[in-house]
Every structure is written in C-alpha cells, then in structure tokens.
C-alpha cells in the first residue's frame, strides 16, 4: 500500500527524536556496562548465526551439486533430442522427396503414353477423314503435329513406321515419290527413296513384310526414308508386343550411340555420348474398333530417361540417387543435382550405406504387366536412395552448440549464485553487527517487551523510507528510454515516467495544400497518401536516429536529442528536414498517377527550434509519449510562419549549427516574423548545399526542374493517371461481359458485332437530336465483375491504344485558362469520386435506419432501386469518365452565345444549339473510330446493345454540361421534377428507375464540371481565377461583350444562389451519393459565404495580378525592341 507524503515526513522527523532521547538517557551509564551488554548481545547473535551458517553451507553444497547434475543432464538431453530431430527431419524430407519423384515421374510417363496415344488416334482419324487406306497414309502438317508431340512428351524425336506386306510394296514406290514433299513441308529437302546404305536398302525382291520409316520429326541430317526397321530385333519384338497389347511399350534402355545409329539426330542434343535412352513404341491402327482394328504401323518416340526426373524436387536438394532396373537386364543410376537428373553410369551405383532408406515403385503404364512381360515388353522398377550429400544438408553443429550454450548457462548460473552468496554473506555480517549493536543498546535501556514495541515502529519507518526512495523520489534518469523500448512496464504502473531534456531540436512539418487537396478525394485516398508519405519519413527517421513523437492531422512532429541525448541534435535534424523536403517532393509527383491531379502540387512547410523540453508519458486512456514546454510552442510558431518547401529555423537552432561549425547552413531571413506570445523573432532559412542541388535552399525554389520540364512532367502524370482510371474501369467492363457470357452459356448468347463499327451516320440530325428522357440501364451483379476484374488482362496493345487516345485528346485541348486538359482531369476526378461514393443496398439500409426522424430521410427512399443501376454497370461508369475527359475538347475559350454571335460555321452545323459540346462529341467520337483504336473499341463495346448504350451515354452526359442554354436547362429541370415528383406516373417500374438514373447521371456530370465550387475554398479560388483570366482574355481579344471584372463579384453570388446550391441540394435529395452530397452542399454554402465576405477583394487582386503581368510583358517587349 502506498503511504501518504505526510507519513513520510512524520517518519523522517520521528527517528532523529528517538535517537536524541536514547542518547540523553544513556549519558548516565558507564562505558563498561555498555560495552559488556554489546559484547554479550554480539556473542549471542554470532552463536545463532554460527548454527544457521552450518545449515546454509550444507544446503549451498546440495544446490551447487544439483545444478551441476542438472546441467550435465540437460546438455546430454539437448544434444540427443536435437540430433534425433535432425535425423527425423532428414528421414521425413527424403520420404517426401522420394514420393514426389516416384509419383511425378509416373505421372510424366502416363502423360507421355496418353500423348502418344492421342497422336496415333490423330493419324487414324486423319486417314479416315481423308479416306486413305493403309499403308498409303501421310499425316499432313507434320511439322505442327510433330512439334506438339515433342513438346508434350519432351522427346528428342520420333519416326512413323508403316507395315508393308509383300503385295503392297509394288505400289509403295510411286506413293513415296508422289507424296514425300507434301508432308515434309516447304523444305528444299527431297527424300531419296530406299537408299541409306547398301546393307540397309529395302529389298523389294524379299517376300517378307517390311517396316519402312515414312515420316520423322525432326528430320535427320542423313535421310532415312524407307529404312526398314523390322530387321532390328528390339524394334520387331517391341513393335509386335505393342500391337498385341494395344498400348504403347517402352523399349530397352540403350545408350545414345546405339539409338543414334537409327536416329542420327539424338547425338546432337544428348548431354553425354552414353546418355540412356529408350524408344516408346506406340501402335497405329486402321480404325478405332477394338474388335475389328488391325495394326498398320508404329510411332517410335525417342525419350531420354533423364527428362523423366528433371525439376521434380527443389533445386537445393542434392544427392538423391535414382536406380532404374529393367526386366530386360538393364540397370542405370542417376543422381539429382540442382534439380537435374545427372547420369552416373550403368549398374546400381547408389550409396550402399543408405540401402535401408530404399523407396521403390513399378515404373510402368501397362494395363496388364504380366501379359506385357510374356510378350517380351520390358518392365521397369524405380528405386530411390539418399546419400551422404543429402543427409549433410540436414546435419549441423546445432546440437553441440545448443548443448554448450545450455552448459554455459548453467555454469553462469552457478557462478552468479556463488557471487550472490558471497555478497549476501558480507552484507549479512554488516547487518548483523548493526542489529546486535542496536539490540544491545536498546536492551540496556528498556525491558525486553518495551524494546520490541520500540523497534517495530523504527522498522516501519525504515520500510517507508525504502518505499519512498524506490518510488516518488527516485531519479527518473533512463525511464524514458526503457519505457519507449518496452522494458519498464512495472515502473510505468508505479510512478510517472517523465524527464527533462535540455538539448533537443524539435521539427514540425506540415503539408501545404493538403486540406484543399483532401476535399477533392475519397477518405481512403486521403489516408493512403498520408500513410505513404509519413511511412517514408518514419523510415528516414529510424535511419538518422530521429525520434518520431506523433502526427497531428497532416503535421509530422519529431525530435532529435531524446530519449538518448546527443550533441549533434541540430545538425541531424537539419539534414533530416532537408531529406524530408526531397522525399515529399519526389513522392507527390510519383503519386499523381495514383491519386490524380494536383497531387504533385502538394508541398511541405518545416519549422525547427532547439531548446529544453519536458518529455514523458501522460498515462490514462490512450496513453502516449508527449513533449511539453515553450520549445514546442515556439516550433509551432516557426513552422506556421514558414514557406512551402523550405526549412524555417529559429535563432537558437541557428546558434547550435554555428557552434557545430555549420553556421553557413543558416541564411538569415530578410524580415523578422511576429509570433503569438513571442513578439518579433529573427529567423533563418536552412540552406545545405552538397553535390546535388539544394532543395531547402534560401532561394525559395520548389523543385529541381525547369518550368517547361515541370509542365511536361505534369502533363505526362495526368495522362498516366487517366490511363490508370480507364484501365481499371475497362477491366470491369470486360469482366462484366465475361460474367454475362458465362451465365448465358447454354441459353441465350450475346449478339456480337464486328470489331470495327462505323461512326454514327450524320446527315439525319445532330447529337442533340439523340438526347432521350430515359436511357435503359441493365441490372448486373457488380460483385462478380469486381472479383473477376482482378484477373482480366487487357494486353499491352489495348493499354497502348488507351494511352495514345488520351494523349491525342490532351493535344486537342486548347491552352485556355479554364477549359483545358487539366480541368478535364479535375472533372474526371470528381466523377470517379462520386461514382465511388454511390451507396450499396446495405449502406442504404443503414442510412435509412439512422435517418429516421431526420429532415433528410425523404431523400433515401429514391436511392435503393436507383443507385444499383449506376453503380453496377461498369460500362455506364466508363462512359461517364470518358465523357468527363472529352467534354471540352477544342473549346475556344468563349461561350456558345459568342460563337453564335460571331457566326461560326459550327453554329450552322449544330443549329446554334450546344455548339461547343456537340463539336467536342464529334471530335472525340471520330477519333475513337479511327483504325488505330480497333482493339480499344472492342473492349468498350462488343455487342450492339453495348455500342448503343455507350453512344447514348456519351451524348447525354456531354450535352448535360451545357448549362447556359436556357431552353435546355428548363427541359432538364422539368425532367428532374417529373422523375422525383410524388405523383404516380403511368409507366413501368423499370422506366421509372431508368428515368431517375438518367437525370441523376446528368446532374452528376454537372456537379463534377463545377466541382471546384463545392470543394475547399482554396480549390475554388484556384479555378475561379483561371476562369476569370480566360474570360478577361476573351474580352481583351474582343470576344466578350463587357469587362468581366465589373460584374464578377455579383455574378458569382448569383451563380451560387441559382445554380450551384440548388444543384447540390438535388444531389442530396436523390440520396445516391451518401455523405458526399452533404459534403458538396456544405462546401457550396461555405464558399458562397466566404465569397460574399471576401469576393470583392479577390476580384481586385486577380485583376491587379493580370495588369501587373501585362505591364511586365510590355516592359520585356520594350527592352527587346531597344536591344534590337
């Protein structure tokens, strides 16, 4: 139990008083009496100790002896057990590898047998289909079929033998001369019939049947056409056996030289001259009837035995011996080396000492092995043995090492026990002496019962004092380190963990532009970016021994100089800050292809300050390590007053760098800053210059590249991001199509259209004439498409065409301030965000339950049937992203009204309606129909229904972006009221849902086209300024009726009140987009209020910036003119 501090104070005061009392009372006693009492008490205590010491010594010996015996036993047991474990591991591994070899080799043999049987059946089928009679049969396309057979069987080559009777030989010669070139392909080789050597010519005057070679693959260097194989005993015996068995027969094991005599190609591919081979004899029949068929030939497949055993077990397993025994008196031995079967020689050459590990299995594929043996076919037996090489892989010095380690542990324990015993005896002697003196003193003054009562409180006081020294008043030095390393859990529970560190440097790094960036993204993307960036900083911090304290939002807080103090804390943190800027600049540009536009524009602002901090663990719920003190507050002020992609330092940090000889790293800031609670402060910029160009330099540069290269890189990153978006959605489109085809197998198949689909014919109307009130959207199971999309491979050709198309579209955009390719990417990003936020039925159910009784609950009832139509059709989503990309292609930078006023030819073509939008559709569509994008089109649509839906969606979505045409806007509003009115319409439920989905799609693209007005204030300002510049340039060029700056402030307020906010309310009402619709509406209301407060000032600043730029341009032109 813990004792209050007051108890400690009373106890500390009580003991001196007690000692003073005893001293005053003992002054009247003689020294002789005191010495006598002391000697008697000491003698009495020593007598007791002497008795106890004998018992302790006896037990000390027993303990040491027991520990020694236990150590020996444990060492022996450890060695035996570990050795047995290695033996067991070796045996189990060998059995596993041996089983794998036997089973996989048998499977390979079965595969070869099946492949040869299929080849023979193919020849029989070819003869029947061509109505050829044996032996006058030639397999067409032998090079193709032969390559397949050799690939399936891993064979060196094969030959086809026909059985010729004496009556058939006369007609054989003209057949050979007539058909030899046809089966050999386009080779210039023309077989010379009947000739190989004088002794091996076919003897036509012989009355006996003959077995000539007719076809072979690959063809040998020396022609063997019509070589009679029947005189070869092994061929005749195995061929007859195969014909009678009705299945393939494996011939004798022969070395390479023997087989090369008949098949000269073998010698060129075998690894060594005597490599064992066998011929597999596959019978050929004239038909497939088991009762009526007759053997008409053989397929001789040359197989190298080593191929049966290659790559069956891991490459790191070596030394396993394979002994192959044949009933034909052949025995060969192989050894597995790095996964390859290496031929050792003839006979059983395995290690005799491992015969007990033998694992054997028959290596045959015969249906009836006894019959095969009786007919003279060879039977094979495969035996597998380990070797010392195999066992050595499982043997190690670990048993001996562990035994020695265990022995060492016990020896150290004995030595530690003896050392502890020695120190304990010395301590006990001192304690006993003091206790004897104290007892003697107290005994001389008080009776025995009073002495016991007096000593008990004193003991309690000493215990309390010990507790106090071990808890609240104990030094905390080192507690921070042990806590952070997780080694002081008990101390954390008993006392506060805190300490003062006098020399540290604190860094705060805040991402600039992140708040605005995050308003355009999904929550998952926001956290993904932070995890990537801060995770990278964590790795750098570990490498430089910088301690990460915490992250607060998008601010990264770290410190150098704790928990282990270090003198170079300022230098370390300066280098870390410089590396942080480099890393963040590099990562945000790389991540723009993943997270979309403006990611590469993110930066980081860093502040450094050195001083004293209190560091500790604030316990309780969610306990964490924290820093306290003025240094932390000052660092926050330094960071907030810094600049993007620069390191801002205090005077104290600069002084620390100067003391370390790094004063040139600090560049004094031109003006002092005013910090809250600090007043004016002189600060510095960090400028470390090394071989690489300084990133955190005092010149305020934000990148390492020139402006032109940055713009080109940004364009490439935007294109890469668009490619990623297109690829992801196209995979879902293809996966959905495959899922539909799979589900329709055996019932109704999709009606496919040619890969090349002509453009929509013109002359019968414009794109505007294609607009419909209802677009029929199918219902799909989106989960199937999403799961299958991961396995879909579009191929490099399609991806290259996607990239080419997007790049071409980017070049078709003009260099307008607002209506440009970057704005198209911004619209695309908003579309993908809203599409991703479409709620699933389960989400809608949860929202419906939580929204009961709220004002917004009426919007949810529209969503359950509406959301799936948009969310579950990948083609709909792809069409919307495609439309977002192309909706402003070739935009001139002026509205349609000005184009009509200028009497542009396009206006007559499009009947002065949605001129820019229809022009963009035609340009993008005609480009898509180009011959070079045939594969891309086949991925987008493969059926007539898909083609029509894609075309309809593109037209509908792009034309919806024309919000300035009053007639179109009025029709669109009427369609919205008709779709979402409470009145029951006389139409099918299917049409009702599709009507709502169609109008929601139109409003989705409208919201995305002006998404900047419903995002963070900084995002709104960015695009508002660009649109202002575009309009101002049009006025300067004489293509606008008035100066936009005169009415820009009021115009934006009206735009918010009559278009943006109503549009956001519609998104909320439809209930499809969940919290995103609330987010868009809230941003719209806030931006409207902010514009009302600051809009006039913003307009003045934008106008002043344009005028200043024009003055600079005029000055530059004047200077050039003077120079000329």
| Residue 660 clears pLDDT 70, i.e. is over it | yes
Ranges 221-225, 231-235, 714-718: which has the least confidence: 221-225
Tell how many helices (H) and how many strands (E) occur in the chain.
37, 20
| Residue 5 clears pLDDT 80, i.e. is over it | no
Question: What global pTM score does this model have?
Answer: 0.53
Considering the chain, what is the average pLDDT of its residues?
A: 78
What stretches of 545-607 show up as alpha helix (H) in DSSP? 569-590, 592-595
**Residues paired with 159 in a beta bridge:** 216, 300
Tokens at 293, concatenated: 């068929």
Please tell me which residue, 466 or 827, carries the higher pLDDT value. Answer: 827
pLDDT digits (tens, 9 = 90+) for 834-892: 888 776 544 444 444 444 444 444 444 444 455 555 666 888 999 999 999 999 999 99
- The predicted model gives 193-210 an average pLDDT of 47
- The predicted model gives 743-765 an average pLDDT of 49
Around Cβ 747, how many Cβ atoms within 10 Å? 6
Contact, 1069 vs 859, CB < 8 A?
Answer: yes
| Residue 751 clears pLDDT 70, i.e. is over it | no
pLDDT digits (tens, 9 = 90+) for 157-185: 888 999 888 788 778 878 877 776 554 44
- The predicted model gives 910-923 an average pLDDT of 90
Across 719-812, the runs of DSSP E, i.e. the strands, are none
Please tell me which residue, 648 or 262, carries the higher pLDDT value. Answer: 648
- The predicted model gives 906-912 an average pLDDT of 86
pLDDT digits (tens, 9 = 90+) for 993-1023: 888 888 888 888 999 999 999 988 888 999 9
Q: What is the pLDDT of residue 409?
A: 86
Q: What is the pLDDT of residue 219?
A: 67
Residues 6+ apart with CB under 8 A from 1002: 956, 957, 960, 972
Contact, 826 vs 597, CB < 8 A?
Answer: yes
pLDDT digits (tens, 9 = 90+) for 84-120: 888 888 888 888 888 988 888 888 888 888 999 999 9
Residues 6+ apart with CB under 8 A from 155: 112, 149, 280, 301, 302, 303
Question: 34-43, 689-698, 794-803, 967-976 — which one is most confidently predicted on average?
Answer: 794-803
Q: What is the pLDDT of residue 482?
A: 60
What is the biggest distance separating any 2 CA atoms in the chain, rounded to whole angstroms? 153
pLDDT digits (tens, 9 = 90+) for 590-620: 888 888 888 888 999 999 999 999 888 777 7
In 3D, which of 733, 729, 991 has the Cα closest to residue 865?
Answer: 991
Distance separating alpha carbons of residues 479 and 616, to the nearest angstrom: 9
Q: What is the pLDDT of residue 65?
A: 86
- The predicted model gives 505-523 an average pLDDT of 88
Tokens at 1010, concatenated: 């002006």
Residues 6+ apart with CB under 8 A from 925: 759, 760, 951, 954
| Residue 146 clears pLDDT 60, i.e. is over it | yes
Q: How far is CA 556 from CA 166, 356, 401, 480, in A?
A: 96, 66, 47, 21
Q: What is the pLDDT of residue 59?
A: 83
pLDDT digits (tens, 9 = 90+) for 396-421: 888 888 888 888 888 888 888 888 87
Q: What is the pLDDT of residue 271?
A: 57
1097 pLDDT tier (thresholds 50, 70, 90): very high
| Residue 73 clears pLDDT 80, i.e. is over it | yes
| Residue 29 clears pLDDT 50, i.e. is over it | no
Q: How far is CA 296 from CA 146, 236, 285, in A?
A: 19, 14, 5
1048 pLDDT tier (thresholds 50, 70, 90): very high
- The 3-state DSSP class for residue 810 equals helix
Q: What is the pLDDT of residue 704?
A: 41
């Amino acid at each position: 139990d813990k004792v209050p501090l007051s108890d400690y104070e009373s106890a500390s005061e009580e003991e001196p008083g007690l000692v003073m009392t005893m001293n005053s009372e003992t002054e009247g006693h003689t020294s002789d009496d005191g010495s006598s009492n002391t000697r008697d008490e000491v003698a009495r205590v020593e007598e007791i100790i002497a008795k106890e010491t004998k018992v302790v010594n006896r037990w000390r010996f027993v303990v040491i002896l027991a520990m020694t015996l236990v150590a020996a036993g444990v060492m022996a047991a450890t060695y035996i057990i570990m050795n047995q474990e290695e033996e067991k591991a070796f045996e189990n591994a060998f059995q596993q590898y041996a089983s794998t070899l036997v089973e996989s080799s048998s499977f390979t043999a079965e595969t070869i047998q099946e492949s040869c049987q299929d080849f023979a059946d193919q020849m029989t089928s070819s003869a029947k289909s061509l109505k050829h009679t044996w032996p006058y049969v030639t397999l067409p396309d032998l090079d193709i079929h032969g390559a397949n057979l050799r690939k399936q069987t891993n064979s060196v080559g094969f030959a086809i033998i026909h059985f010729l009777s004496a009556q058939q030989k006369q007609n054989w010669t003209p057949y050979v001369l007539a058909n030899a070139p046809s089966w050999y392909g386009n080779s210039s080789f023309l077989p010379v019939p009947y000739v190989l050597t004088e002794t091996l010519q076919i003897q036509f005057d012989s009355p006996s049947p003959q077995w000539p070679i007719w076809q072979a693959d690959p063809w040998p260097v020396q022609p063997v056409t019509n070589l009679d194989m029947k005189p070869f005993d092994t061929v005749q015996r195995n061929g007859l056996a195969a014909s009678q068995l009705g299945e393939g027969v494996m011939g004798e094991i022969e070395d390479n030289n023997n087989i090369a005599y008949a098949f000269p190609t073998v010698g060129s591919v075998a690894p060594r001259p005597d490599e064992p081979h066998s011929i597999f004899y596959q019978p050929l029949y004239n038909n497939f009837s088991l009762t009526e068929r007759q053997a008409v030939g053989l397929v001789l497949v040359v197989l190298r035995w080593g191929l049966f055993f290659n790559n069956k077990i891991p490459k790191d397993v070596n030394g396993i011996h394979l002994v192959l025994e044949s009933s034909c008196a052949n025995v060969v031995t192989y050894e597995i080396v790095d996964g390859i079967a290496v031929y050792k020689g003839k006979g059983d050459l395995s290690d005799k000492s491992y015969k007990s590990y033998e694992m054997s299995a028959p290596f045959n594929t015969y249906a009836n092995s006894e019959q095969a043996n009786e007919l003279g076919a060879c039977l094979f037996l495969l035996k597998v043995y380990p070797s010392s090489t195999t066992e050595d892989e499982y043997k190690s010095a670990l048993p001996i090492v562990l035994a020695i380690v265990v022995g060492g542990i016990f020896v150290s324990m004995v030595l530690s026990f003896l050392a502890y015993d020695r120190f304990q005896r010395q301590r006990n002697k001192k304690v006993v002496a003091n206790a004897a003196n104290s007892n003697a003193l107290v005994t001389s003054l008080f009776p025995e019962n009073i002495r016991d009562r007096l000593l008990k409180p004193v003991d309690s006081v000493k215990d309390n004092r010990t507790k106090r020294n071990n808890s609240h008043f104990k030094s905390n030095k080192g507690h921070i380190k042990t806590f952070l390393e997780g080694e002081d859990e008990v101390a954390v529970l008993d006392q506060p963990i805190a300490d003062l560190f006098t020399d540290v440097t604190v860094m705060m790094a805040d991402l600039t532009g992140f708040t605005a960036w995050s308003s355009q993204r999904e929550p998952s993307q926001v956290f993904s970016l932070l995890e990537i960036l801060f995770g990278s900083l964590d790795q750098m911090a570990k490498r430089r021994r910088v301690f990460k304290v915490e992250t607060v939002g998008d601010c990264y807080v770290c410190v150098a100089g704790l928990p282990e103090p270090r003198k170079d804390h300022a230098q370390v943190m300066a280098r870390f800050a410089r590396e942080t800027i480099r890393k963040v600049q590099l990562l945000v540009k790389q991540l723009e292809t993943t997270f979309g536009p403006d990611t590469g524009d993110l930066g980081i602002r860093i502040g450094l300050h050195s001083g004293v901090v209190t560091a500790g663990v604030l316990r309780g719920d969610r306990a964490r390590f924290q820093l306290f003190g003025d240094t932390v507050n000052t660092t926050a002020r330094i960071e907030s007053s810094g600049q993007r992609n620069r390191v801002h330092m205090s005077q104290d940090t600069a002084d620390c760098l100067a003391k370390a000889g790094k004063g040139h790293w600090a560049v004094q800031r031109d003006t002092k800053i005013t910090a809250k609670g600090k007043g004016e402060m002189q600060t510095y910029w960090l400028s470390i210059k090394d071989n690489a160009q300084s990133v955190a330099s005092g010149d305020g540069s934000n990148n390492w590249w020139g402006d032109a290269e940055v713009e080109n890189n940004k364009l490439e990153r935007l294109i890469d991001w668009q490619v990623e978006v297109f690829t992801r959605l196209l995979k879902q489109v293809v996966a959905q199509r495959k899922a539909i085809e799979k589900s329709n197998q055996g019932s109704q198949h999709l009606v496919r259209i040619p890969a090349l689909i002509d453009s929509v014919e013109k002359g019968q109307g414009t794109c505007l004439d294609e607009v419909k009130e209802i677009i029929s959207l199918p219902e799909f199971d989106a989960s199937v498409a999403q799961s299958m999309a991961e396995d879909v491979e579009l191929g490099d050709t399609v991806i290259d065409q996607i990239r080419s198309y997007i790049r071409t579209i980017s070049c078709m955009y003009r260099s307008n301030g607002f209506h440009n390719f970057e704005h198209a990417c911004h619209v695309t990003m908003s579309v993908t965000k809203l599409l991703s936020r479409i709620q699933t039925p389960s989400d809608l159910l949860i929202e419906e339950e939580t929204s009961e009784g709220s004002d917004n609950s009426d919007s949810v009832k529209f969503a359950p049937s509406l959301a799936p139509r948009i969310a579950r059709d990948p083609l709909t989503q792809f069409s919307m992203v495609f439309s977002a990309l192309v909706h402003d292609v070739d935009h001139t930078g002026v509205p349609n009204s000005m184009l009509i006023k200028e009497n542009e030819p396009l206006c007559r073509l499009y009947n002065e309606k949605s001129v820019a939008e229809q022009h963009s559709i035609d340009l993008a569509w005609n480009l898509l129909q180009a011959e070079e994008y045939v594969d891309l089109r086949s991925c987008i649509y493969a059926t007539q229904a898909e083609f029509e839906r894609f075309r309809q969606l593109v037209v509908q979505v792009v034309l919806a972006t024309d919000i300035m045409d009053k007639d179109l806007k009025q029709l669109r509003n009427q369609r919205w009221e008709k779709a979402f009115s409470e009145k029951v319409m006389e139409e099918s439920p299917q049409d009702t849902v599709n009507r709502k989905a169609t109008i929601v799609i139109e409003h989705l693209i409208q919201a995305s086209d002006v998404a900047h007005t419903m995002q963070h204030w900084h995002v709104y300002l960015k695009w508002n300024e660009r649109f202002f510049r575009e309009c101002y340039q049009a006025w300067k060029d004489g293509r606008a009726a008035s100066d936009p700056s005169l009415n820009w402030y009021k115009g934006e307020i009206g735009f918010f009140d009559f278009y943006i906010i109503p549009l956001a309310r519609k998104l909320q009402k439809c209930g499809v987009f969940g919290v995103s619709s609330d987010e868009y509406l809230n941003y719209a209301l806030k931006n409207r209020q902010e514009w009302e407060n600051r809009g006039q000032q913003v307009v003045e600043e934008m106008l002043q910036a344009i005028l200043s730029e024009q003055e600079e341009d005029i000055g530059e032109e004047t200077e050039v003119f003077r120079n000329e």
